[in-house]
Amino acid sequence: MERVLDTFYQGLKFNPNHLPKHLLIDEFKGTKDCEGAMCFIFSDAQTGKIIDILDDRRNFKLIAYFQRFTQQARKRVQHVVMDMNSAYGKMIPQVFPKAKILVDHFHIIQQISRAFNQQRIRSMNQLDKKSAQQMKDYRKLKKYWKQLQKKHKNLGYDHLKQFPLFRQKYVTESEVVDYLLTIDPVLKASYDVYQDLLDAFENGKAQPFFAIIDQLSPLLEEPFKKSLRHLQKYRKEITLSFTQPYSNGKLEGKNNLIKVIQRIAFGFRSFNHLRKRVLIQQGLLEIL
């Protein structure tokens, strides 16, 4: 396979005069011969088409790479969508002087969801496992975590089903969640904040979203508040993301594809071979 890649496929054509107006950027774990710990990938936000894959995500490498494009091409870029990686925030203004940075929608929700899930785990671990009742509650919080993570409006309110840890009686999803929230008042308060943030995000309103974070109750535990306040570091970028339709979803899909290719091939020894294989699969390389 590696000999075929080297013999029959030419390299990716580089056009220094063109870049899309809207870019998606991300990273993934590459091969052992990569210069950096993580590889860098970027694509067109509108079409999802991969533009290139680099073997190093460090800023000085990215700056050197993007400066190969003409200043006119780089000035054409209007938006760059990224995760909450502060390092990229320093690199982007240097190479794309007119671009605005947006934080990917998925990573905003991920940050909120993780903060609440970690609170659930802390609430579990504070229960007395020597107490029969608290041990039952511990198991319920552990088993039915998915119900707690759901948007409240998406819970089943009418459909009765059996939940094994509820003594086999028929209850709704909503009743399960209602019970779980009686176990710990801090968990209940955290759940309310979590749901309010999900609603504000879905409504696309940055001001109510950050108002919730700015006015967190003293009842909430510090680790939960710290996780949410991390979003304040990206207030400007997140606020802009509420006004734009671009998301890293298309690029996350490419990253999942790369993982599949690596798994099927039992790993690649060479970054160049992995890069070629991905570009071939995407129809971006031609046979010589």
* Average pLDDT for 90-98: 94
Residue 23 and residue 118 in one domain: no
Residue 110 and residue 222 in one domain: yes
Candidates 99, 109, 113, 46; CA nearest to 238 is 109
Residue labelled with tokens 């998606």: 24
The whole-number pLDDT of residue 266 equals 58
* Average pLDDT for 68-72: 96
pLDDT digits (tens, 9 = 90+) for 43-68: 999 999 999 989 899 999 999 999 99
Which residue among 195, 211, 234 closes a domain?
234
Does the pLDDT of residue 141 top 50, yes or no? yes
* Average pLDDT for 202-222: 95
Residue 137 and residue 157 in one domain: yes
CB 98 within 8 A of CB 75: yes
The whole-number pLDDT of residue 284 equals 66
Does the pLDDT of residue 184 top 50, yes or no? yes
Residue 97 and residue 186 in one domain: no
Q: Is residue 176 in some structural domain?
A: yes
Residue 263 and residue 200 in one domain: no
Exposure of 179 by Cβ count < 10 A (0-12 exposed, 13-18 middle, 19+ buried)? middle
Q: Which of 6-20, 148-162, 192-206 has the highest mean pLDDT?
A: 192-206
Residue 4 C-alpha from the chain's centroid: 35
Residue labelled with tokens 């990229």: 88
Confidence of residue 89 (pLDDT cuts 50, 70, 90): confident
Q: Which domain holds residue 22?
A: 2-104+247-281
Residue 31 and residue 100 in one domain: yes
Does the pLDDT of residue 8 top 80, yes or no? no
Residue 114 and residue 175 in one domain: yes
The whole-number pLDDT of residue 4 equals 47
The H or E element that residue 118 is part of is helix 105-125
Does the pLDDT of residue 5 top 60, yes or no? no
pLDDT digits (tens, 9 = 90+) for 264-273: 655 666 777 7
Does the pLDDT of residue 81 top 80, yes or no? yes
Does the pLDDT of residue 150 top 60, yes or no? yes
Q: Is residue 172 in some structural domain?
A: yes
CB 240 within 8 A of CB 102: yes
Does the pLDDT of residue 139 top 50, yes or no? yes
Residue 97 sits in a domain whose CATH number is 3.30.420.10
Residue 38 and residue 117 in one domain: no
Q: Is residue 287 in some structural domain?
A: no
Degrees to nearest 5, angle at CA 249 with 104 and 56: 75
Confidence of residue 207 (pLDDT cuts 50, 70, 90): very high
The whole-number pLDDT of residue 287 equals 53
Specify the DSSP class assigned to residue 282: T
pLDDT digits (tens, 9 = 90+) for 241-258: 998 988 888 888 888 887
The whole-number pLDDT of residue 277 equals 78
Residue 142 and residue 78 in one domain: no
Does the pLDDT of residue 192 top 80, yes or no? yes
Q: What is the pTM of this model?
A: 0.85
Spatial separation of the C-alpha atoms in residues 236 and 88, rounded to whole Å: 15
Residue 15 and residue 37 in one domain: yes
Average predicted confidence (pLDDT) for the chain: 88
- Give the count of domains, the chain: 2
Residue labelled with tokens 């108002």: 211
Degrees to nearest 5, angle at CA 185 with 180 and 190: 85
Degrees to nearest 5, angle at CA 31 with 34 and 114: 100
Residue 228 and residue 251 in one domain: no
CB 285 within 8 A of CB 9: yes
Count CA atoms closer than 13 A to 4's CA, side-chain side.
Answer: 5
Q: Is residue 286 in some structural domain?
A: no
The whole-number pLDDT of residue 114 equals 98
